[in-house]
């Protein structure tokens, strides 16, 4: 492959970023069609938070933001919606009087339970498309990119 001209992006890098973005957008739509029942108040973002709460137990909002990779403001909005729909609730933190934790309600646990099988089926379908070792390789690459992006964002925030 030819080297890109000075001042232009590498065409493979450009195609890779475009493809990654396309896969993200397409997979969100695809997963919602496989798991989704918007009538139950579950979006993909809410589903991810509910999975975290199911698997890791009650969490502080800051822990949810970090684990799911979204802004704290967005967690507040998500939790407000989950609470309004009876899928999660805020409770006092067991050791920190200033903090609250978010936990699933019975209704939330039931909603996530009914949707986890289609989600597992979807992820299994994707994993079957990969050769041995590829899932771990992809995960390692995405983790490195995530680290680079977080570090660059941190530097940009410090420069402001």
Average pLDDT for the chain: 87
| pTM of the complete model beyond 0.85 | no
Residue 32 pLDDT class (50, 70, 90 cuts): confident
- pLDDT tens per residue, range 134-150: 999 999 999 999 899 88
pLDDT recorded at residue 72: 86
pLDDT recorded at residue 151: 92
Other Cβ atoms closer than 10 A to 11: 12
pLDDT recorded at residue 28: 83
| Strand partners of residue 91 | 101
| Strand partners of residue 103 | 89
Give percent of the chain above pLDDT 90.
49
Q: Taking 70 as the threshold, does the pLDDT of residue 41 lie above it?
A: no
| Strand partners of residue 104 | 88
Highest mean pLDDT pick, 33-47, 61-75, 112-126: 61-75
Angle 41-77-114 from CA coordinates, rounded to 5°: 25
Instruction: Please tell me the number of Cα atoms within 13 Å of 118 on its side-chain side.
Output: 14
Q: What is the mean pLDDT of residues 28-52?
A: 77
Q: Taking 70 as the threshold, does the pLDDT of residue 5 lie above it?
A: no
Asked if 58 contacts 103 with a C-beta cutoff of 8 angstroms, the reply is yes
pLDDT recorded at residue 160: 84
Asked if 90 contacts 83 with a C-beta cutoff of 8 angstroms, the reply is yes
- pLDDT tens per residue, range 60-116: 999 999 898 888 889 999 999 999 999 999 999 989 889 899 999 999 988 887 777
């Amino acid at each position: 492959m030819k080297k890109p001209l000075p001042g232009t992006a590498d065409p493979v890098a450009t195609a890779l970023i475009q493809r990654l973005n396309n896969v993200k957008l397409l997979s969100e739509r695809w997963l919602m069609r496989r798991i989704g029942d918007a009538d139950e108040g579950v979006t993909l973002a809410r589903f991810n938070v509910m999975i975290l709460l199911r698997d890791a137990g009650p969490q502080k909002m800051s822990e949810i933001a970090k684990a799911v990779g979204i802004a704290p403001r967005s967690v507040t909005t998500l939790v407000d919606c989950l609470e309004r729909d009876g899928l999660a609730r805020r409770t006092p933190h067991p050791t920190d009087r200033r903090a609250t934790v978010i936990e699933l309600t019975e209704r939330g646990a039931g909603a996530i339970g009914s949707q986890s099988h289609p989600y597992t089926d979807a992820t299994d379908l994707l994993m079957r498309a990969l050769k041995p070792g590829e899932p771990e390789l992809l995960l390692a690459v995405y983790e490195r990119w995530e680290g680079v992006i977080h570090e660059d964002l941190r530097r940009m925030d410090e420069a402001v």
